[in-house]
Amino acid sequence: MIFSHLASQAVRYDSQQRTLHAYDWMGQPVQYQTPAELCQALDDRACYAATAVIAGGIWLCRDHGVDPHCLPLTNQPDIVTSLFQSANLAVAFPQSLQRLDRAHEKTARLATALCSDGDVLTIYDSDGLFAHYLQRILLREQGMPSVTVIITNDAWPLDPATTVAVMSGAVDASGNADAALSPYIAMLEAANLPRYIVAPHGPTASQATIAASNIHAIITARGIYRPEKISNFARDNDIGGDIIAFG
């Protein structure tokens, strides 16, 4: 099964049937007809493209008269949580997926600059979309380095022998990383390998636990930041997606 790298193709909401259509990690189509079913799948980490699924879950919950805060919303970007305030989800939901895709594309193109011919790249991504976006760019577009790509998530352990690692997760405004990345960062640190965190939408308000000193750089849709500079992400909003904010 070849997974879609696009949020807009990984999840669909049928408002007439009040059913959310998504995929599991085996690439099989799944349907969620109640918020309870969806919450259980998210708790079990069974959903591919969980961020996009949660965006659709907000619509599912609203149609079933359930408070969307029942969903695991920790570390979700503003473009997802902003759906709470939307009066027209039929318009806002596909727009949020399109924004997810644009952010992933910009971030993935910046991440390719960290790779050279012959690298072995491990991408940890518990959501899956960014990893497949980066893989698509590296393997299918001309002018990109020749890289061996290993995609890993919670079910597939990280290979500590890699030469480059890109990990998709949450960081806070101080550049600290989410606890979910802890075992992967520890393995890379022990192997003396570079540690890059991908946060396409910038820092979240999550409770982060890994010190910024253990991270070399944070890659976002607005540029590559040193951890201590990630608090500038919101200020850089009008500068554009190609700024490299190392200074």
pLDDT at position 48 is: 92
pLDDT at position 65 is: 95
Q: Which of these, 11, 23, 95, 2, lies nearest to 52 by C-alpha position?
A: 11
pLDDT in tens, 14-54: 999 999 999 998 889 999 999 999 999 999 888 999 999 99
Most confident of 1-5, 63-67, 204-208: 63-67
Instruction: Residues 104-238: name the CATH superfamily.
Output: Translation initiation factor eif-2b; domain 2 (3.40.50.10470)
User: Helices marked H in the chain — which ranges?
Assistant: 7-10, 35-43, 50-63, 78-81, 89-112, 129-140, 182-190
pLDDT at position 38 is: 96
Q: Which of these, 108, 124, 13, lies nearest to 60 by C-alpha position?
A: 13
pLDDT in tens, 96-112: 999 999 999 989 888 88
pLDDT confidence tier of residue 146, bands split at 50, 70 and 90: low
List the beta bridge partners of residue 12. 21
Kindly state the percentage of the chain with pLDDT values over 90.
33
pLDDT at position 183 is: 79
CB neighbourhood size of 246 (10 A): 10
Average model confidence (pLDDT) for the chain?
A: 83
User: Which of 21-35, 61-75, 133-147, 209-223 comes out lowest in average pLDDT?
Assistant: 133-147
pLDDT at position 7 is: 92
Q: Where are the domains of the chain?
A: 7-102, 104-238
- Residue scoring higher pLDDT (246 or 229): 229
The pTM assigned to this predicted structure is 0.83
Q: Which residues contact 166 (CB under 8 A, 6 or more apart)?
A: 111, 114, 121, 122, 123, 124, 134, 196, 198, 219
pLDDT at position 178 is: 84
Q: Is the confidence at residue 205, as pLDDT, over 80?
A: no
pLDDT at position 93 is: 95
**Strand pairing category for 29-32 and 19-23:** antiparallel
List the beta bridge partners of residue 207. none
Average pLDDT of the residues in 87-94 = 94
Q: Is the confidence at residue 162, as pLDDT, over 70?
A: no
Kindly state the percentage of the chain with pLDDT values over 70.
84
Average pLDDT of the residues in 163-170 = 74
pLDDT in tens, 233-244: 887 765 444 444
pLDDT at position 11 is: 96
CB neighbourhood size of 31 (10 A): 12
